């Protein structure tokens, strides 16, 4: 039963990230098949027509290489988020999607900003920092794995390097900042497990264990039955 629950949890953790990645690929396929360019729906900083891009620019990519580079991290980091931080995963993801787009719209340089890189940075630094903040051994291991896999992303925060490679370092910086902010803000929230806070990360459908509990052990300390007077024996000891 436990292995089945573990597999079910792993599968459930990948659903939302897979949907996000699928949307990105469908958008790019539509662009190629119908010779369209959706980049006009990206973030145009401090421009009313760029407001829709706050939500949409994560799903639009310049080319296949750009798309593939963001797909794997979305799947890996997104699944890790939903597996180890399931109770707060939806909040983290939605806040990142909105806040990264908003910060990019407010503070980025001119032009059109597209791609899920900002979201990748947000997930990366949330997962990277959360384990250390919570001082939990299992989550620290996850943080170290993320550092090993995606630690090089820090170069994308360097303006000169990013601009030379036509990269939106402002979007990266927005994800970096929001990942850290959310890791600190949600440091007291329950981590991996089900909605009831089961830290083993498993839903238990069996209620049989409740039947094995000795009800006598569940009595409050004040609810002690009075002894039978006929069986009561009082012993006095005299001490000088």
User: Does the pLDDT of residue 123 top 80, yes or no?
Assistant: yes
Residue pair 5/206 in contact by the 8 Å Cβ criterion:
no
Going along the chain from its start, the domains and CATH numbers come out as 14-185 (1.20.1540.10)
Q: What angle do CA 210, 11, 71 make, to 5 degrees?
A: 150
- The span from the CA of 137 to the CA of 123, in Å, is 19
Is residue 215 predicted with pLDDT exceeding 70?
no
Higher pLDDT, 121 or 235: 121
- Banded model confidence at residue 101, pLDDT cuts 50, 70, 90: very high
**Both tokens assigned to 184:** 């600190």
Largest CA distance in the chain: 106
Given pLDDT bands bounded at 50, 70 and 90, which one contains residue 65?
Answer: very high
Above 50 in pLDDT, residue 216? no
As a whole number of angstroms, the distance between CA 121 and CA 100 comes to 10
Closest CA to 90 of 101, 99, 78: 78
Residues 221-230 pLDDT 10s: 445 566 555 5
Mean residue pLDDT of the chain comes to 82
What average pLDDT score do residues 135-157 get?
83
Supply the pLDDT for residue 209.
Answer: 42
Q: What is the pTM of this model?
A: 0.77
Instruction: Judge contact between 66 and 115, C-beta under 8 A.
Output: yes
Separation of alpha carbons 76 and 172, rounded Å: 18
pLDDT confidence of residue 212 = 45
Would you give the distance in Å from CA 65 to the centre of its chain? 25
Mean pLDDT, rounded, for 52-66: 95
CA distance linking residue 153 with residue 77, whole number of Å: 13
Q: How confident is the model at residue 208 (pLDDT cuts 50, 70, 90)?
A: very low
Averaged pLDDT, 77-83: 95
3-state secondary structure of 36: coil
DSSP at 200? T
C-alpha 16/C-alpha 74 separation (Å) is: 10
Q: pLDDT of 163-189, one tens digit each?
A: 666 788 899 999 999 999 999 999 877
Kindly tell me if the per-residue pLDDT of 219 is higher than 60.
Answer: no
Asked whether the predicted pLDDT for residue 239 surpasses 90, the reply is no
pLDDT digits (tens, 9 = 90+) for 6-27: 889 999 999 999 999 999 999 9
pLDDT digits (tens, 9 = 90+) for 109-119: 888 999 999 99
- Residue 207: pLDDT band (50, 70, 90) is very low
Stated as kind and residue range, the H or E segment containing 174 is: helix 169-185
CA 103 and chain centroid, separation: 19
């Amino acid at each position: 039963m436990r292995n089945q629950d573990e597999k079910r949890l792993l599968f459930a953790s990948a659903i939302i990230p897979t949907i996000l990645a699928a949307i990105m690929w469908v958008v790019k396929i539509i662009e190629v098949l119908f010779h369209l360019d959706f980049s006009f729906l990206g973030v145009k900083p401090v421009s009313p027509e760029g407001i829709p891009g706050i939500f949409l620019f994560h799903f639009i990519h310049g080319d296949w290489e750009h798309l593939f580079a963001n797909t794997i991290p979305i799947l890996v980091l997104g699944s890790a988020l939903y597996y180890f931080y399931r109770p707060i995963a939806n909040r983290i993801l939605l806040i990142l999607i909105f806040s990264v787009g908003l910060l990019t719209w407010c503070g980025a340089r001119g032009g059109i900003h597209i791609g899920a890189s900002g979201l990748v940075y947000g997930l990366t630094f949330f997962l990277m920092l959360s384990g250390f903040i919570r001082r939990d051994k299992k989550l620290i291991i996850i943080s170290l794995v993320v550092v090993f896999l995606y630690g090089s992303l820090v170069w994308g925060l360097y303006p000169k390097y990013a601009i030379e490679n036509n990269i939106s370092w402002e979007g990266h910086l927005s994800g970096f900042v929001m990942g850290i902010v959310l890791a600190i803000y949600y440091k007291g929230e329950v981590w991996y497990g089900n909605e009831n806070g089961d830290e083993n990360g498993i839903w238990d459908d069996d209620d049989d264990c409740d039947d094995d509990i000795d009800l006598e052990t569940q009595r409050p300390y004040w609810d002690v039955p009075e002894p039978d007077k006929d069986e009561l024996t009082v012993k006095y000891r005299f001490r000088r």
